[in-house]
Amino acid sequence: MTKESHFTERGSAEAVNARMGDDINPRLAEVMASLVRHLHAFAKDVDLSQDEWELAIDFLTRTGQICSEERQEFILLSDTLGFSMLVDAINNRRPSGATENTVFGPFHVDGAPIRKMGDNICFDGKGESCLYQGCVLDRAGVPIEGAIVDVWSDNADGYYDVQQPDVQPKFNNRGRFITGADGVYRFVGIKPVSYPIPDDGPVGKMLAALGRHPNRPAHLHFLVTAQGYQKIVTHIFDGKDKWLASDAVFGVKQSLIAPFEPVEGDTKWRADFDFVMCEM
């Protein structure tokens, strides 16, 4: 046992990381060593006080305790600190021209009905209807046949069907569309509306203390899959939304802003958006 094996302020992270066993999962060792280095560097950078440490312990504990089957406050924390978007970005780097990813969100439902091209996916009669259409293409601009365009959005009151199972029809504002040889998808939905993330818990209090609002700009979710291609998890956003530059979860990317254009007739709006997929 040498003196160096004990803890010192200067060598704190090294002391912790030196303790890891030799036979452990090498990837776990790599990730934990980096985490410890960054956590310790953070405390040193700001000279973290004992009171601040206690506040952090209390915040993390409350964040864990409010989690339930229906609520995941740690994901909300990750989202609001831009961490979810960062992990998504790291894992979905794509060449220029390919459709960018954004956060998946908690409201996707597997197995939404497969609908016919042009169908209306809004079943509660609320909201301003909007025609969505575009092409699913490869990077050379060739249409992809058999791509599944899975779409979901909140209703005009700002809630997803799964948040209001007793109020909204099942699969309201959801559906899957399978492209033909022309790669085209087309459906009628509503022009989406903005909504706040749940802000009555620790994360909401954190946002308030940081002078931030909890709102997400209006968006429509898409999950686009096709055999041989990388899946796309993304949104399209309304470029005129007041929260566009301040999405509480940092989901907005410039390339994902769709032109919502007013049109004449029963359908009030039209948004054209193509999806460009990368080969696996």
Beta bridge partners of 136: 275
> Residue 88 CB, nearest distance to a copy of itself (Å)?
8
Query: Nearer to a copy of itself by C-beta: 3 or 266?
Result: 3
Identify each DSSP E strand in the chain by its residue range. Answer: 129-138, 148-152, 174-178, 184-190, 195-196, 215-216, 219-225, 232-238, 257-258, 260-262, 269-272, 275-277
Name which of 129 and 230 has its Cβ closer to a copy of itself.
Answer: 230
Nearer to a copy of itself, 37 or 115 (CB): 37
- Token duo for residue 181: 């040889």
Minimum Å distance from CB 280 to a copy of itself? 16
Q: Residue 20 — φ and ψ, nearest 5°?
A: -65, 145
Considering the complex, state which of residue 181 and residue 245 has its C-beta at the smaller distance from a copy of itself.
245
CB of 144 to a copy of itself, least distance (A): 24
Q: How far is the CB of 268 from a copy of itself (least distance, A)?
A: 24
Question: Distance of CA 44 to CAs 37, 81, 83, 231, 244, Å?
Answer: 11, 20, 22, 41, 35
Contact at 8 Å (CB) between 216 and 181? no
